[in-house]
Amino acid sequence: MKCKMAMLPDEVMIVTMYGELDTHEAMKIRQDISTTILRGDVKTLIWNLDYLQFMDSTGVGLILGRMRELYAVEGQTILLNPSPTMEKIFGYSGLGSFVVHGTEETAILQARGIVNG
């Protein structure tokens, strides 16, 4: 599992995950993202799931936890391009409204309110 985190202007962070998300990697990612959120550096967190092949409940917990942290600072979360299976899991978890399909640029524009979903 590989993860790439990129900070963009306007407090936007894109987290791109590759391969399979396991418990060990989720803990490391959680710590890195939480630290950034708690510093006040992130208001929009885009999870680019284009290259993620597998995620279990640990991954859902990772995302939900960061959503709670962002909620405290009036931030937002976007789940970009999950696989059909992951999209079903997000739907069952109550996260279906956070799913966006398209490019990272489209997700950023939507987060800024420029594109209507």
Cβ atoms of 79 and 49 closer than 8 Å? yes
Q: What CA–CA distance (Å, rounded) separates 69 from 65?
A: 6
Residue 103 lies in a domain: yes
The pLDDT of residue 115 is 54
Tell me, what's the pLDDT at 75?
Answer: 95
pLDDT along the chain (117 residues), means of 10: 91 95 89 94 96 90 95 95 94 93 95 68
pLDDT at 61: 93
pLDDT for position 56? 85
- For residue 25, the model assigns a pLDDT of 86
Domain containing 10: what range? 2-111
CATH assignment of the domain containing 35: 3.30.750.24
DSSP-H helix ranges across the chain: 23-38, 57-72, 84-92, 104-111
In a domain, 105, yes or no: yes
- Can you tell me which residue has the tokens 């992951």? 86
Write down the pLDDT at residue 113.
83
**Residue 54 falls inside a structural domain:** yes
Q: Is the pTM of this model over 0.75?
A: yes
Q: What is the rounded CA–CA span in Å between residue 108 and residue 106?
A: 5
Q: Which residues of 42-65 are buried (b: 16+ CB within 10 A; e: fewer)?
A: bbbbbbbbeebeebeeebbebbee
Whether 116 maps to a domain, the answer reads no
Q: Looking at the domain assignment, is residue 61 inside a domain?
A: yes
Asked whether residue 14 is assigned to any structural domain, the reply reads yes
Q: Is residue 117 part of a domain?
A: no
Query: Among 38, 21, 31, which Cα is nearest to 82's?
Result: 21
Is 88 a member of any domain?
A: yes
Residue 117's pLDDT is: 44
Distance of CA 39 to the CA centre of its chain: 18
Number of domains in the chain: 1
